[in-house]
Amino acid sequence: MEHRHFKLFKPYGYLSQFQTNAKHEQNKKFLGELYDFPEGTMAIGRLDKDSEGLLLLTTDGKVSYNITSSKTDKEYYVQVDGDITNEALELLQQGVEISHKSETYTTKPCLALKLDAIPEFPQRVKKIRNERHGKTTWISITINEGKFRQVRKMTAIVGFPTLRLVRIRIGNITLDDLLMGEAQELNLII
């Protein structure tokens, strides 16, 4: 069987999985609603329901290990509440303590920097609060790990909670010009 690979611009509000019959998930949105993926397609890593951006999918489970390993960088553009300080960025870069599975976990050093320009993403379905409620800042965070809601926990712990999170890159694969909700088949994954 020849395996197939895809990249997808996951919209806000979708789960990074395919439909299940679980009663608690009946009113949720799933990836299969966005594209006619072949049977056996699975997401490589996840983005939580509130996060957007690049999601890789494959029919080959072996590919998943390489991408979710610490050898592969994942870059996120993050809109945070407030005017982030250099001190907060330095803390993010050095690693911060977050909770993970009821334990304290120190994140690995990462790249964190303030963006000079606001990224041009499509308007989100659920509005983000207005500027009149205070300043917001866009930052880039590049990590090579992926604990549950890690980036959100990291920005909150340094005092700048995440308002919007968009993954733009996994390894050398980027969102490019994908439209929100659009999928594109790839010849090769990382």
**Residues annotated as part of the active site:** 48
- Residue type present at position 31: L
Query: Where are the alpha helices (H) located in 22-164, listed in sequence order?
Result: 61-68, 86-94, 150-157
Which parts of 5-154 are beta strand (E)? 5-10, 14-15, 29-30, 42-44, 52-58, 74-81, 97-100, 103-106, 111-114, 136-143
Tokens 């993010």 found at: 92
Q: What whole-number distance in Å separates Cα of residue 137 and Cα of residue 163?
A: 10
Tokens 């917001």 found at: 136
Q: What whole-number distance in Å separates Cα of residue 127 and Cα of residue 135?
A: 15
**99 forms bridges with which residues in the sheet?**
104
Query: Cα 117 to chain center, whole Å?
Result: 20
